Structure 1
Amino acid sequence: MADGTTRGKRRLARFIKQLQDKSGLTAEEIARRTRVSRPTVTRLLQGTHLARWPSVSVILDELGAPPELKTFLLQMWEVADVDNALVEHAMALPIKYRRFRMDELEAYGERSLDTTYIHGLLQTAAYAEALAYASHRLIIGDTWDETAAAERLTRQQLLTRESPFALHALIDEAALRRIVGGPQVMREQLDHLVKAAALPNVTIQVLPFGVGAYGPLLSALVLLDFPEADAPCAAYTEEISGLAMLEEQHEVEPLDGIWRDAVAIALAPDQSVEFIRAVRDTLGDS
């Protein structure tokens, strides 16, 4: 099975870790009793590797998993290994961003707060390419700036697929006024935001300078919501080295609260569209 952390592997690992905690067995003891290698057991418990089912099955038996739970975990195991092929251009993506994209595919909704740049699901190709070029010193390889535009367009198919998920984007005025790629690129980008706001599954709200401070200084915050009742919301914050993921509830809940507080002070969706149009008018015509 493939290495690499996906939400499915992490979710499976949480269930197995609960069984391990009840058993009191260490990873080394589990490995010795089941004759599964210790690295395999450790990575399975960490959610970074999906062992073959025979190995998982014997581990579950050793941990005393009841038959109905084992059947449930088998179903979870079968869908846990998300194939990179589902993410177009996957091998060209920075690893943290690739993991986020794989999680995003499984989500039914996304909530964002962007204080510096336009959210990725709302970017034009030219805007995405300009951003990628600006960050090229942090990217390994020399093709990301060329790939970024195409990657953004394929990612945005989430918004128009047969069963599209909902996007609720909060955008700071600073992101609207930052001239990325030049005036023409920004004109097209702001026009695109107005069009995107008309989609039934997209909500855009602007945080104008007048609202003052809100929450800690975050350049970007993304919250992914998943369909399973036992699956917690996942939060991602922008760091200089890429997106950092948080899934523990004590870490996610404050960020969820920050997002909801920002919604309460942001302009209403219709007012936000008018605000975007006003900023667009300051750039004149091409």
Structure 2
Amino acid sequence: MAIGSTRGKRRLGRHIRPILDRSGLKVDEVVKASRVSRPTIVRMLSGDALARWPTLAMVLDVIGATPEEKTRALQLWEVADVDPYAIGHARDLPSGYKRFRMDELEAVRERSLDPALITGLLQTAGYAEAVSRATSRRIIGEGWDEHAAAERSERQRLLSRDKPLEFHAVIDESALRRLVGGVEVMRDQLDHLIAMAELPNVTIQVLPFDRGAYEAQAGGLHLLDFAEVDEPIAAYVEALTGTAPVEDEDAEVLAAVWDDAARLALTAQESVSLIKAVRDTLGDP
């Protein structure tokens, strides 16, 4: 069974499900008629796995897919059949974060909300290494420190590719003032934020202390939008145990949380002014 693109597998599963429902067949009946194992069919429908094309084609024949539906299924299968190891260090990434990275590669827009740290797409190498050193080895594994900066650098190429990712970050003021890695690392990090804010595809808003509490103070979140109009947003939260996907209605709840935080935050121009003010408190190198 192929590995495949996470989002692509989910789209293919959503394409197949109504065809199965229309057929009136139960999964066990499809298993018997197609001689494809039950776990393979169930995981294919849920988007958890990608069957090889001959296997998928056999299932489509059994459930009565039209020629047009089979053609569309092939198109979705070809998109889904993407090697995740095209992502650098993929073998070393925790599963939840790897799924997030694969979805992020295909996204056209990302919104993030970070209550404690500078978000990964805006981190300097020094900051990324310092965050890695502070993260449990049980989450990221031994020896990740030496890969953290390279992984962040590769990921940040999304902001400068031919069709750059549109990125809108809402960052808590505490992330600006927390001395991750020490004074020198934070000076470089804040200078980097100021420079990134000048990019046309990057928006940075800061939630200042005087705006009080907000719903996502317990952890960060990421929302990914895709080019297809029928594709739902992909939502992820940062938990103590790592990056975790959030499905269905809960993803829409997180989108509302992000919208509320963005409304509370300073404007982009005001945010850069605050970043510069915090940077000035750290003095010159």
1:4 deviates by: 6.4
1:280 and 2:276 are equivalent in the alignment: no
Q: CA deviation at 1:5?
A: 6.5
Q: Contact 1:92–1:143 (CA<8 Å) still a contact in 2? A: no
Question: Does residue 1:148 correspond to 2:166, yes or no?
Answer: no
Change (3 A) 1:216 1:149: closer
SS at 2:217's partner residue?
A: coil
* Paired residue total: 285
Cα distance in 2, alignment partners of residues 140 and 112 from structure 1: 21
Q: Percent identity, please.
A: 58
Aligned-residue Cα RMSD (Å) equals 1.5
What letter matches 2:138 in structure 1? L
TM-score (ref. length: structure 1): 0.95
Give SS of 2:102's match.
Answer: helix
Q: 1:115 touches 1:171 (CA, 8 Å); kept in 2?
A: yes
For 2:81 and 2:220, how far apart are their aligned partners in 1?
28
Given that 2:9 and 2:49 are in contact with CA atoms closer than 8 Å, whether structure 1 keeps it comes out as yes
Trace 1:100-119 onto structure 2 (pairs within 5 A).
100-119=100-119
- 8 Å CA contact 2:194, 2:276 repeated in 1: yes
Letter in 2 for 1:261: D
2:258 match: 259
Identify if the C-alpha distance between structure 1 residues 185 and 140 changes in structure 2 by more than 3 Å, giving closer, same or farther: closer
- The 5 A counterparts of 1:145-224 are 145-224=145-224
CA offset at residue 264 of structure 1? 1.2
Contact 1:232-1:247 within 8 A present in 2 as well: no
Unmatched runs of 5 consecutive residues or more in structure 1: none
The amino acid that maps onto 2:38 is: R
Which stretch shows the higher mean deviation, 102-111 or 61-70?
61-70
Per-residue deviation, 1:32: 0.9
The amino acid that maps onto 1:242 is G
Which residue matches 1:88? Answer: 88
Tell me how far 1:207 sits from its aligned partner.
0.4
Cα distance, 1:225 vs structure 2? 0.3
Between the aligned partners of 1:56 and 1:2, the Cα distance in structure 2 is 12
Structure 1 letter corresponding to 2:266: L
> Is there any run of 5+ residues in structure 2 with no aligned partner, and where?
none
Alignment check: 8 A CA contact 2:168 2:202 kept:
yes
Give the direction of change, closer, same or farther, for the CA distance of 1:280–1:7 in structure 2 (3 Å limit). same
Bigger Cα displacement from structure 2, 63-72 vs 23-32: 23-32
